[in-house]
Amino acid sequence: ILLLLTFTTLPLSSSDPNDEACLTQLSQTLKDPLNNLQNWTKSTFANPCSGFTSYLPGATCNNGRIYKLSLTNLSLQGSISPFLSNCTNLQSLDLSSNSISGPIPQDLQYLVNLAVLNLSSNRLEGEIPQQLALCAYLNVIDLHDNLLTGQIPQELGLLARLSAFDVSNNKLSGPIPASLGNRSGNLPRFNATSFGGNKDLYGYPLPPMKSKGLSVLAIVGIGLGSGLASLVISFTGVCIWLKITEEKMAAAEEGKIGQFMPDY
């Protein structure tokens, strides 16, 4: 009887404090102008899951832990909280098609189970964190249509499971890491559509960059042409000067001779 009474006093489910901190901080950094996340409240964060059932819209649970967050096309603003890394059981994060700004937190490296990262179609700025390479299970990284700058981290090419990669339409620069653009048979690991729309990004599989200036041959040709034209102009000027000088000297000589000629 005592044993039964003990079990009946225990809660049927208990929340994970890491998940609670994760959700609380994320809700504070994200702005929800259309009130799409009205059920994201402190009381729900304390117990967001019951087994595989989630009490939060956009969240999926697995054995009482937050397993997936899919908050797409909700007109969300604000930034991504670095405390999102507290959701250590998270395997899929999709915040695409919003107006989220700021950097991609380096702390996402602690989401060691993360397999899908989709932050596309936002206003994210700054560089792509090289620390994402520590999420060894990543097989999808989609960051297209943002304002990301800097180079693509070489370390991302070490992600052996990476099967989908898209950083198109950003402000990235520098070379494409060979490990992301290398050939597998006759095909690149990721084709040009994964990298297009970045003005200063170059390297295979993108087509060769169009020269922003004149080619070396054109520059040499212009230089030679300019030099020849200057030489012709200078030579012509000297000839004209000599001709005028000669005429003046001739006129002066005639004047001197005229002074000594007798009048008839």
Q: What is the rounded average pLDDT for all residues in the chain?
A: 83
**Is residue 226, in this structure, part of any structural domain at all?**
yes
User: Does 233 share its domain with 146?
Assistant: no
pLDDT at 4 exceeding the cut of 80:
no
In a domain, 48, yes or no: yes
238 and 148 within one domain: no
Listed in order, strand segments (DSSP E) in 30-170 are 30-31, 49-50, 53-54, 59-62, 65-70, 77-78, 92-94, 101-102, 116-118, 123-126, 140-142, 147-150, 164-166
User: In terms of domains, do 23 and 110 share one?
Assistant: yes
Most confident of 8-17, 174-183, 237-246, 255-264: 174-183
Is the pLDDT assigned to residue 112 strictly greater than 80? yes
Residue 212 has pLDDT above 60, yes or no: no
Do 111 and 157 lie in one domain? The reply is: yes
For residue 165, list its beta bridge partners. 141
Between 172 and 225, the more confident residue is 172
Classify residue 158: in a domain, yes or no. Answer: yes
For residue range 53-94, what is the model confidence (pLDDT) as tens digits?
A: 999 999 999 999 999 999 999 999 999 999 999 999 999 999
pLDDT at 74: 97
Predicted confidence band of residue 208 (pLDDT cuts 50, 70, 90): confident
Give the mean pLDDT of 237-253: 61
The predicted pLDDT at position 182 comes to: 77
For residue 115, being part of any structural domain is answered with yes
Q: Would 9 be classed as within a structural domain?
A: no
173 and 218 assigned to the same domain: no
- C-alpha distances out from residue 42 to 4, 81, 143, 145, 211, Å: 32, 16, 30, 33, 56
In this prediction, residue 214 carries a pLDDT of 46
Q: Is residue 123 part of a domain?
A: yes
pLDDT digits (tens, 9 = 90+) for 134-180: 999 999 999 999 999 999 999 999 999 999 999 999 999 999 999 99
> Do residue 234 and residue 155 come from a single domain?
no
Mark whether 28 and 46 lie in a shared domain. yes
| Banded model confidence at residue 257, pLDDT cuts 50, 70, 90 | very low
**pLDDT at position 261:** 42
* Number of domains observed in the structure of the chain: 2
Same domain flag for 57 and 127: yes
Res. 5 pLDDT band, cuts 50 70 90: very low
Q: What is the pLDDT of residue 103?
A: 98
- Establish if 24 belongs to a structural domain: yes
Q: Is residue 87 part of a domain?
A: yes
Range of the domain at 229: 212-253
When pLDDT is averaged across residues 20-37 and rounded to a whole number, the result is 95
For residues 179 and 65, state if they share a domain: yes
Do 65 and 114 reside in the same domain of the chain?
A: yes
A 10 A CB-CB count for 50 gives 13
Strand pairing report for 49-50 and 53-54:
antiparallel
Domain co-membership, 134 together with 227: no
114 and 39 in a common domain: yes
Give me the CATH number covering residue 169: 3.80.10.10
pLDDT at 188: 75
Reported as a single tens digit per residue, the pLDDT across 119-134 is: 999 999 999 999 999 9
For residue 38, what pLDDT is reported? 87
Write down the H helix ranges in the chain: 2-9, 17-29, 42-45, 178-181, 216-260
- What pLDDT does 1 receive? 43
